[in-house]
Structure 1
């Protein structure tokens, strides 16, 4: 089966150094495993368990980080391969039972055509500020997934930074407010050494994402708010510590996960698209 048509292109920009440096700090080892980040983890897990084909199926987890989702997917019986551009992530995820991992770029996947039942992009799109690069990553996912298979991609919402900075109180710091307002206007979060909490990223308007899927040749099927509005509530971390309240929070968030009027309030959105059953070579058009 054919490889990516992009994998030998010399003009493919490398991963920006500030993104590599940010993730080499190791924050992904704990971000979704403790505190309020568990809401994103549990909700993503809940959604994927409903959206993915049944195990055993072959899953390509692009930008899979340290294997936070690859681990439970393998435990559920899936055959999981992680592709990530961060060497430390590849080393960590490759240790997990039932998971293989390799270095690679979402825009030129080291993957055979039509080889996977599902392709996950749970991080790459929000580190590709340029639309052509996001579409290219989605087109590569489409090439790698089998006809009829699904591509599931995560995006950070356009106003997530504004909502989060208000909740944390950082919006009242003038220089932070200026940067936050700029991101709210155009979606481009630019790295600053004075603001080390995040790195170069793109915050998407949820309405734009299905159009990018379509441009890549994928048929959009649905969108799901991951954290809903619960992530903005002051007691959420304590609620997640209590099994009974946690289940209530997850159930409440599930009730509004595809409500159009609330989709943009979530910190992250999952968008699902499907490759048609035709065009087995993975060409667009």
Structure 2
């Protein structure tokens, strides 16, 4: 396997696994860019659809069907927020570290602890006692009970996500915000007007995301977080 960031015609194609990859929405663009992708997902209908995109199989993030050091890159862009038990998250990250080659990259996504606060304020829902109670519980515990509107889930703080990757043995861990600090303004605009945000609004939100990228204190303003780290060589 190559250690290059992007494969080319003279090298062995870089191998990656998309753990919890759903129907292949992320795998599709990786395959298009020339990567070999093995997708793992616990939902049979997801695996069936993803099979049209890449190699796909049923499996669990906590027990991956691959040998040690198989992949150049392991991505977990869903499993961590579906695992409210910290022991399960640690197991999933330990499995990612096991199947990635020495020096390989692990990327893990999380929902930001404060995302629901920003979202429901933007959607003008936060004035109700029921919503305030729900958001208060998420802020306090990081856990959503899944009773209304969304599945049982865990919401990370940025520093907490970094610690979980480091505790799994990953080095050089960095955390990035995905949407930037203006994402909830786009939601508010769409909700108020009933249409997609204007091109200028989207361009401004993207500019805000890029400007905020170098300031870790602004991670908390994002809806999602992405942490990356490398396995020990």
Corresponding position of 2:155: 203
Query: How well do the aligned residues superpose, as a CA RMSD in angstroms?
Result: 1.7
TM-score by length of 2: 0.88
SS of corresponding position for 1:165: helix
SS of corresponding position for 2:158: coil
Q: Do 2:181 and 2:212's aligned partners in 1 also have CA atoms closer than 8 Å?
A: no
SS of corresponding position for 1:143: helix
Corresponding position of 1:141: 96
1:77 and 2:29 are equivalent in the alignment: no
Q: Do 1:225 and 1:258's aligned partners in 2 also have CA atoms closer than 8 Å?
A: no
Corresponding position of 2:225: 269
Runs of at least 5 residues in structure 2 that lack an aligned partner in the other structure? 8-12, 191-195
Corresponding position of 1:176: 131
Change (3 A) 1:258 1:198: farther
How many angstroms does 1:252 deviate by?
3.4
TM-score by length of 1: 0.73
Aligned length: 218
Q: Do 1:119 and 1:145's aligned partners in 2 also have CA atoms closer than 8 Å?
A: yes
Corresponding residue to 1:252 among 208, 211, 215: 208
Corresponding position of 1:22: none
Q: Equivalents in 1 of 2:172, 2:135: separation in Å?
A: 30
Q: Equivalents in 1 of 2:213, 2:88: separation in Å?
A: 27
How many angstroms does 1:220 deviate by?
3.8
Runs of at least 5 residues in structure 1 that lack an aligned partner in the other structure? 1-51, 278-285
Give the 4+ runs in structure 1 shifted more than 4 A: 244-248
Corresponding position of 1:191: 146
1:129 and 2:75 are equivalent in the alignment: no
1:229 and 2:192 are equivalent in the alignment: no
Q: Equivalents in 1 of 2:208, 2:132: separation in Å?
A: 31
Q: Do 1:119 and 1:152's aligned partners in 2 also have CA atoms closer than 8 Å?
A: yes
SS of corresponding position for 2:96: helix
How many angstroms does 1:247 deviate by?
5.1
Corresponding position of 2:24: 67
